[in-house]
Homo-oligomer: A and B are copies of this chain.
């Protein structure tokens, strides 16, 4: 069904057909279809859906839509939604919506769930604890394969995943894992103890979500168990949530690399003062840092007064230097984030950037020389001065751009800070110093 068909069915009040067609669709598609409608029409259709589908659709709504919905549904409906939602989805919602809605949700949650919610809300943001869920299949090692399959048959529908099952002792300590694949291919009278995998790879509730994502990438798991300080199993993290984590962490890197404070708010939903705040701090820092560059120019004002044409090449030199440095820092930052580059590679990176910058610098300097000399009518000496500066600038920019992210990492600062904007400011100053030094000598000023 597309938007047009939906509109038609609503207008013609063909609700039976509408219901039937919606039931056949995937919940993510239904959510997408309802999202642009006004809240009343949307709620009307939502109420037609079978309860299971309705909850799944709700889980696929955007935070804003969920917030609006919670505001208008009855307490009974909210209770149903809360009962059916997976725990991690509920925690996500609670973390995003305003306090009055949190209150409404807590009032409608069961007693034992309320204390669990409070426990989960105390996990640090972006920790394994904050993204895990509690709906996992819990087996005992004395069970037979047949017992285990029966257990899954009974409880499996309410679990986030049944494909990895967790074996715990009576103190909830994690003893092993069994995949459903293993269960299905094993003989029915074997015990779980016989077939379980004891070398379980797990994470702690306070591990950073980025570390957790890295483990999923390395091992190719579908789920990872999360244990508390006493090694008791407290939840699991599934791969579908990790995909979001990867996107979120990358977005954070993009923001930092463009000199912004990271924010999880979606652009179109964020208000302009929050967006302005996110941007203005770094702009101020960089603006004030650029003072230094201005100071260099003022120091060499006499050189510029004598050969004013030198000023005309400042933008090109600054931009090319900044771009060269950004290229290097971007590759290194990304390499560090993906674990392809380690801190001990710092020597290799410097040597590599140095050699690359010589190749790139020579090409740029030659092209630049002929362009200026042939078209700009500024004479041989100025052309040579500018091209030589360009060559040196590219080398400095690439080595600085390659090295600063690694120094940041070494100092436990996020390397993403050492990206284009900051590198540009640093390289600007250095390139002007080189420019005036070369110009003074070549032009005998």
**Which single member of B258, B284, B424 contacts A330 (CB below 8 Å)?**
B258
Which residues of chain B have C-beta atoms less than 8 A from A349's C-beta? 267
> Are A323 and B286 closer than 8 Å at their CB atoms?
yes
Q: A231-249: contact bitstring with B at CB < 8 Å (1 yes, 0 no)?
A: 0000000011011101100
Complex CA gap A213/B205 in Å reads 28
Segment from A9-17, A93-101, A359-367 that makes contact with B:
A359-367
Complex CA gap A252/B312 in Å reads 34
Known: A216-B243, A315-B428. A268 touches B320 (CB 8 A): no
Interface size class of A (residues with CB under 8 A): 35 or more
CB under 8 Å from chain B, chain A span 24-44? 24-26, 28, 32
Nearest CB in chain B to that of A419: its residue: B258
**Which single member of B217, B272, B334, B367 contacts A254 (CB below 8 Å)?**
B334
Q: A442 contacts the other chain (Cβ, under 8 Å)?
A: no
> Are B251 and A26 closer than 8 Å at their CB atoms?
no
CB under 8 Å from chain B, chain A span 270-315? 272-273, 275-276, 279-280, 282-284, 286-288, 290-291, 293-295, 297-298, 301, 304-305, 308-309, 311-315
**A–B pairs, 27, beta carbons within 8 Å:** A152-B185, A162-B181, A163-B181, A180-B184, A184-B184, A239-B243, A247-B338, A259-B326, A266-B340, A267-B349, A268-B341, A272-B355, A279-B360, A283-B320, A287-B316, A287-B319, A287-B320, A290-B316, A290-B320, A291-B316, A295-B312, A298-B312, A301-B309, A301-B311, A315-B432, A319-B421, A326-B420
